[in-house]
Amino acid sequence: MEPSAQDQKVNKLQEELEKTRSQFYIYYELTRAMRTTLRLDEIVYIILTGLTAHQGLSFNRAILFLVDEENKKIKGFMGIGTMDTQEAKSIWRSIEDQKMDLYDLISTYNRIKEDRIHPKFMEFAQSLSFPLAKESGIIYEVLFEKGSLHVTEDVIEKFKNDSLVRQLNLKEFLISCIWMKDRPSGIIVVDNYITHKPINEEDVRIFNMFVEQAAGAIENSQAFEDTLVKSHTDTLTGLWNYGYFQYKLDEELMKARSKNYPVSVLMIDLDDFKKFNDSQGHIHGDAALREISDVLKENARPADILCRYGGEEFSVILPHTSKDDAFKIAERIRQAVAQDQIFGHTFTVSIGLSSLPSDDTDKGALVEKADEALYQAKRQGKNQVVLA
């Protein structure tokens, strides 16, 4: 016996009610998860997990792009998803076998940060970059539109030459701008690249709710990170300060141990700086420190973490750098400082160098050994690099 029209209506209402209840539960859980951190990368990972998890909106792929005003680019910040059907089936099977819920998926990010897993799609998403100009097509156009754009398979042909569409091989997708402080700051793109499941009106509505939530969370996170950068920046030289050196060395050593790659540490001290300060005065001394900081920046690599350790002492963390390679960089720094003239004065530096794993694996011991090597350089006549 077929259900009556009334029964069908009741069943449909029950299904809609259950779907709405589920959506609000997901929304609540993600809001709660986002309150556990203020780090931008972690916030974004939670948002994208909510968009792609089975308990969330269950899109196959989600990517966040952020506007880089300084370099006039729209750059891929993070992406969650898969590159192909085979990888998707493997990941989905693993999630099902391990009975992973939303929080299990979010916690996976710790393994990514520690370099224990390398999601291919995330690396691909982070490699994407578009000029902040009309030539970038849809990703640029959407930046100045509030609300999402639903591009269906019926109209995708119009975008076949679009750079974003081609690089992601998009068929049907949602794309929306993130507005913060009344200006466009990023873009979120989602699609069903693997399953080809159609995107319906309800998906669009919930997606728009997520985007609004994401904007607030990302804005708070960026404000926090701006404050963090300021609190970890040396006001005189613009370099990172002692606190940041300690924080980053912990982080770099943790990644190096898990991935089994070397990290080196330089401790750098200006020779006879007190004599210059006493004879020339503190104003000239401060100016000299700023000039020398610029020389250090010019001769360190972009990936190196250069800090003012205190007074006239500096420190450098060199990730993925062996002792031999670190020695070459230290020598380059030493020679560059000695060749520079500041207020008609030639400065020199003494440098101590230690490395993981050749000297030690403990943070405190590495810093201490680099420091001991630095003072040995002082005792041996200054203006030289000494290895731990």
Res 1 pLDDT > 60: no
pLDDT at 376 over 70: yes
Tens-place pLDDT, residues 221-264 = 777 777 777 888 898 988 999 988 998 898 888 888 877 889 99
> Token pair 């989602």 is at which residue?
190
pLDDT digits (tens, 9 = 90+) for 167-192: 999 999 999 999 887 888 999 999 99
User: Does pLDDT of 33 surpass 70?
Assistant: no
Chain segment 130-141, per-residue pLDDT in tens: 999 999 999 999
State how far the Cα of 240 lies from the Cα of 234, in Å rounded to an integer. 6
pLDDT of residue 217: 80
What one-character-per-residue DSSP string does 159-180 give?
Answer: GTT-HHHHHHT-SSEEEEEEEE
Q: What is the pLDDT of residue 24?
A: 65
Strands of 148-151's sheet in order across:
129-131, 73-80, 61-68, 183-191, 173-180, 148-151
Bond into 184 cis (ω within 30): no
Q: Which residues pair with 161 in a beta bridge?
A: none
Strand order through the sheet with 263-270: 305-310, 313-319, 263-270, 349-356, 385-387
Q: Of the given ranges (102-111, 142-151, 349-358), which has the lowest mean pLDDT?
A: 102-111
Looking at residue 97, what is its pLDDT?
A: 66
- CATH 3.30.450.40 domain extents, the chain: 5-227
Fold entry, domain 242-387: Alpha-Beta Plaits (3.30.70)
Band (pLDDT 50/70/90 cuts) for residue 216 is confident
Residue 277 confidence (pLDDT) above 60: yes
Q: What is the pLDDT of residue 19?
A: 64
pLDDT at 146 over 60: yes
pLDDT at 25 over 70: no
For residues 65 and 23, which has the higher predicted lDDT (pLDDT)?
Answer: 65
Listed in order, the ranges of the chain carrying CATH 3.30.70.270 are 242-387
Active centre residues (catalytic): 312
Is domain 5-227 annotated with CATH 3.30.450.40?
A: yes
Which residue reads 């141990």 in tokens? 257
Residue with tokens 């770099």: 252
Higher pLDDT, 372 or 277: 372
Q: What percent of the chain has pLDDT over 70?
A: 86
Bigger pLDDT: 271 vs 18:
271
| C-alpha pair distances (Å), 32 with each of 36, 120, 223, 225 | 7, 28, 19, 20
Give the model's pLDDT for residue 330.
95
296 band by pLDDT with thresholds 50, 70 and 90: very high
Which position has the higher pLDDT, 19 or 146?
Answer: 146
Give residue 102's pLDDT: 62
227, with CB counted inside 10 A (0-12, 13-18, 19+), is exposed
pLDDT, tens digit, 9 for 90 and up, residues 303-359: 899 999 989 999 999 999 999 999 999 999 999 999 988 888 889 999 999 999 888
Which residue from 127, 131, 15 is spatially nearest to 68, judged by alpha carbons? 131
**Taking all residues of the chain, what is their mean pLDDT, rounded to a whole number?**
85
Note the pLDDT of residue 28: 65
